[in-house]
Amino acid sequence: MNAFSYARPRTLADALRLLRNGAAALAGGTDLVGLMKDGLTRPTTLVDLTGIDGLRGWSHPKGRGIRIGALTPLVELETDQSLAKTMPILREALRDAATVQLRTMGTVGGNLLQRNRCWYFRDEGTPCWLKGGTRCFAVDGENRYHAIIGAQECVMVSPSDLVPALIAYDAEIALTSSRGQRSMKLIDLFVAPRGRERREHSLRPGELITEVRVPEAALARRGTYVKAMDRKAWSFALVSIAAAAKIERGVARDVRLVMGGIAPVPWRVIAAEKGLEGSPLDEAACADAADRMLTGATPLRDNGYKVTLARELVRRALRSLVA
Ligand SMILES: Cc1cc2nc3c(=O)[nH]c(=O)nc-3n(C[C@H](O)[C@H](O)[C@H](O)COP(=O)(O)OP(=O)(O)OC[C@H]3O[C@@H](n4cnc5c(N)ncnc54)[C@H](O)[C@@H]3O)c2cc1C
Ligand code: SF4
């Protein structure tokens, strides 16, 4: 690990002033510190965000949607009874994410910005394409956990459980930097690495996520999160899906399907969602949606099983919305 300085500002303005010249934001540290120990990132300064007031907790001003501070620990979202009623997909997604210790330390912002779990990427001695090398070692190597769809030069997969759940609620993020503020749809934070874009996120240097916003209208959807894992705990998704819809007189409206673990970005196919508009979510409609979600899938040597698994998870998640 390289030598670095440490600062714990008390205001957002001070944090933004410190976040320059190779400094990195520190939230729970559950991903960042591991990356530093493994020599995969070498910040000059760690800017600890945990001393800043107002970035933690969530609120639901009447009729104006939900706001979740970026420094809110994952466990708070998982255990809050009132939030579980309003956004049930969140609790389902977080229940099987990491361990309770990691969910206690890990924060919302850090979860959205965690790096991928490709083992070649995580190995300091392997100079793969995403780290500036010339080739992706996973394409011809051990690729059981890698992408089946949507990948170009890099076949890593989007690892977060929280992200598909939030996107199923049309979440947006608020960003701030010394240059000003902006907001974007959460799904637009994610970048499939390709060409000159050897990165996973579209965050700009010196920028912080301050909060996640969910519009009131999205809270009318019911939904579920289904995750397939190798083992019951400490396991990233082999394949996951957040499915949400309004069910009106037995048919689906306003459907959202967002998958994790199969592509370098959270995987959403608008045609699959539109195809379910007005559908009773019967077996035929669910099979058709699964086909549309996976159109163009090209599995690697070891991960053909993900196509079958993904198809079954789409079916199961959608059927549960009308069960
Ligand atoms: C063994 C293990 C198993 C895991 N299993 C799962 C799992 O099953 N599902 C899952 O979803 N996750 C899993 N994780 C990932 C875990 O959820 C993340 O490590 C955690 O959510 C990161 O949050 P953090 O606050 O600790 O982030 P940090 O490690 O502090 O930061 C992560 C990154 O985000 C940046 N950052 C943090 N906050 C902000 C902000 N507000 N604005 C701008 N940048 C910011 C940091 O600079 C850093 O680049 C696992 C992790 C481990 C170690
Ligand atoms: S999948 Fe991406 S991170 Fe993994 S070896 Fe290939 S280029 Fe590197």
- pLDDT values of the chain reduced to their tens digit, one per residue, 323 residues: 889 999 999 999 999 999 999 999 999 999 999 999 999 999 999 999 999 989 999 999 999 999 999 999 999 999 999 999 999 999 999 999 999 999 999 999 999 999 999 999 999 999 999 999 999 999 999 999 999 999 999 999 999 999 999 999 999 999 999 999 999 999 999 999 999 999 999 999 999 999 999 999 999 999 999 999 998 777 999 999 999 999 999 999 999 999 999 999 999 999 999 999 999 999 999 999 999 999 999 999 999 999 999 999 999 999 999 98
Residue nearest to atom 36 of ligand 1 (CA): 110
pLDDT the model gives residue 231 = 86
Portions of the chain given CATH number 3.30.43.10:
1-48
Pocket of ligand 2 (CB under 6 A): 116, 118, 120-121, 128-130, 136-138, 146, 154-156
The residue whose CA has the least distance to atom 3 of ligand 2 is: 121
- How is domain 219-320 classified at the CATH fold level? Enolase-like; domain 1 (3.30.390)
CATH architecture of 1-48: 2-Layer Sandwich (3.30)
Outline which parts of the chain fall under CATH 3.30.390.50. 219-320
- Tokens 């714990």 locate to 8
Residue 124: which residues within 8 A CB-CB, separation 6 or more?
A: 38, 39, 40
Determine the pLDDT at residue 1.
81
Residue whose CB lies within 8 A of the most ligand 1 atoms, among 44, 72, 92, 102, for a mutation test: 102
pLDDT of residue 13: 97
Q: Please list, in sequence order, all residues whose beta carbon lies within 8 angstroms of the beta carbon of residue 287, skipping any fewer than 6 positions away.
A: 311, 315
| Contact between residue 41 and residue 113 where contact means Cβ atoms under 8 Å apart | no
Tokens representing residue 292 in the block: 């549309």
Range list for CATH 3.30.465.10 in the chain: 58-113+162-217
Indicate the CATH number for domain 58-113+162-217.
3.30.465.10
Residue located nearest, by CA, to atom 2 of ligand 2:
154
